[in-house]
Structure 1
């Protein structure tokens, strides 16, 4: 049975842009997406002119190669119309548009493409990008200088190397002829979709059992849910054995091409609403710059390469400085904390004798925060029972001199056999010592058993 196509097209202005510079078309044989550039200076006009001219080739062709030639000629003719429009309306100077289009001819399709709108094919559960972006960052990716992930956030990602417009009288258009199968699902979209919705999300939507219209609505909705700062246009074409009820009624034009042409300048962005800021702060803070064209010349490319190299060097230097500052701050904090602990003293035991410790009775993992500052000849076993337990539990001191006063009282207690040691802080009195909660080793304990001992 001859394969048929069922299709749908949707275009949305997005959450940030004030006007829709995208245009889309889903017809009987032709399917196309155009993304205008030039900001308020006619991006919508350029895409509308292109789609209106290209849709004239929505007809049957004897072969896919004939359709390929006709589609390429239509893009060149659209380019000439845009140039003539700029000549008549000088305020539109610099406007242009991307175009991705295909024509079905029997079991094949003819493709024409320029710019960074995209064509994807979903076949047997696998999503494949058919077209290649004509952008500066894509050239960097192709040359191995950056990764696709880096390209997605590159500051020059809005630079287009090829477009239709008044910038080039004979633009180079990519064309191809490919086979189609029943069950294929083809997606044409502006970068408002591909730049803000991950390919896995796109694949998941296309792999669903929804029809073409439901899929287009879902893709646009998901893009809006992700903030959708840019215009987004989606055209889905299903290759199926199902015969459409009315092929002529299937033709749909969306976006700026569906509205009357106007040459009045308009603001490029609409005010950002508070709910958008709250729900999508990252997306709103990274509103895309208007795409602009730069000639695809080796000199310009070399200049951008040099600029990109300088940018990477600056970024590495900035990261290096930030890392050094962070390490220095961490080392400083550790040193300051250690110095603070070393201002404290307490009395405990060390190898069966009374000792003065410097630091605190704590440890960080295997690292003790105290060590023996001064050993004595007072045997712990010579102390009265109650005093001996206090020393084993450690006795806090307010200073080194206070610790030595405590030792003097312990020495007297050992000599007289009476509980005369104080807790420290008042050398003129001898209250009962208060344990700090950290037990000392026994009289025969090894150095490692002493609290904080090294």
Structure 2
């Protein structure tokens, strides 16, 4: 498992009454949407299973806000229940069941309110062991960022079936999840430059959000920057490594 530092920012801007964005930082999210239109968070964790997401609500006025809120609240529920029981072979199924559940909940809300449309994008990153699982519905972006390149991992889509990518992570890797408003107002090259030259991940997120909000007709900006700090070994891995080195030492002594 890895030690990971994460910075996230969600800001309403000054052009919209409701913040239709929400984010999820490994159990933290905008719980009181009325009072937390502008929220920045930082966390450091080495949890075996880590979950991060950006959701951009869609629908008239506060319907989008409701939709993204439902998505992160449902994710928190799955994080505490289903994801705890997941294994490396079942985590992808758990994520897909979560996405289906959100869709069903939003369909129920639409029918109960007699509305034509309510929805949300979901760009979700799960870190489990040595792998990162990237899922997205809609046009919210997921990027892999290194010292010399930036690669969009997500694929824009409008299907209920999410696009997905499996990625083996290493120390020093960075990943950005961001709302479409950010990715359309700042070029990929500029995004990488800001992240590389910022004094901290928190500073980078603040700069990305602030720069996006300077653009005309841009509001509701959200970004999560995930930094893979270091590799940590659990007890089983330590035991296996110890046995491995014992065999090496015994083999060397035998040959000598």
TMscore range, shorter length: 0.7 to 0.9
Q: CA deviation at 1:15?
A: 3.1
Could you tell me which runs of 5 or more consecutive residues in structure 2 were left unpaired when the two chains were aligned: 27-46, 233-256
Partner of 2:110: 86
Structure 2 residue 205 is the aligned partner of structure 1 residue 216: yes
Aligned residues: 207
Partner of 1:107: 130
Partner of 1:190: 179
Partner of 1:97: 120
* Greater radius of gyration (CA): 1
Cα distance in 2 for partners of 1:215, 1:129 equals 18
**Pairs within 5 Å for 1:288-367:** none
Q: CA deviation at 1:199?
A: 1.4
Cα-Cα RMSD: 2.0
Partner of 2:7: 8
Partner of 1:42: 63
Partner of 1:187, secondary structure, is strand
Cα distance in 2 for partners of 1:34, 1:133 equals 14
Could you tell me which runs of 5 or more consecutive residues in structure 1 were left unpaired when the two chains were aligned: 135-160, 163-170, 244-454
Cα distance in 1 for partners of 2:220, 2:193 equals 22
8 Å Cα contact 1:64-1:109 kept in structure 2: no
CA distances 1:256-277 after superposition (whole Å, capped 9, x unpaired): xxxxxxxxxxxxxxxxxxxxxx
Partner of 1:93, secondary structure, is coil
8 Å Cα contact 2:123-2:142 kept in structure 1: yes
Partner of 1:23: 22
CA distances 1:348-375 after superposition (whole Å, capped 9, x unpaired): xxxxxxxxxxxxxxxxxxxxxxxxxxxx
Match of 2:92 among 68, 84, 87: 68
Q: Which stretch of structure 1 is more off in the superposition, 234-243 or 115-124? A: 234-243
Q: CA deviation at 1:203?
A: 0.8
Cα distance in 1 for partners of 2:166, 2:94 equals 13
Q: CA deviation at 1:60?
A: 5.0
Cα distance in 2 for partners of 1:78, 1:184 equals 30
Q: 1:60 to 1:107 in 2, by over 3 A?
A: farther
8 Å Cα contact 1:15-1:228 kept in structure 2: no
Partner of 1:207, secondary structure, is helix
Q: CA deviation at 1:129?
A: 0.3
Partner of 1:53: 74
Cα distance in 2 for partners of 1:88, 1:206 equals 43
Q: 1:41 to 1:226 in 2, by over 3 A?
A: closer
Partner of 2:166: 177
Partner of 1:84, secondary structure, is helix
Partner of 2:35: none
Q: CA deviation at 1:101?
A: 0.1
8 Å Cα contact 2:209-2:223 kept in structure 1: yes
Q: 1:235 to 1:228 in 2, by over 3 A?
A: farther
Cα distance in 1 for partners of 2:62, 2:77 equals 26
8 Å Cα contact 2:86-2:94 kept in structure 1: no
Q: 1:242 to 1:224 in 2, by over 3 A?
A: farther
Q: 1:61 to 1:221 in 2, by over 3 A?
A: farther
Cα distance in 2 for partners of 1:104, 1:198 equals 26
CA distances 1:130-182 after superposition (whole Å, capped 9, x unpaired): 00112xxxxxxxxxxxxxxxxxxxxxxxxxx33xxxxxxxx212223211111
Partner of 1:331: none
8 Å Cα contact 1:185-1:206 kept in structure 2: no
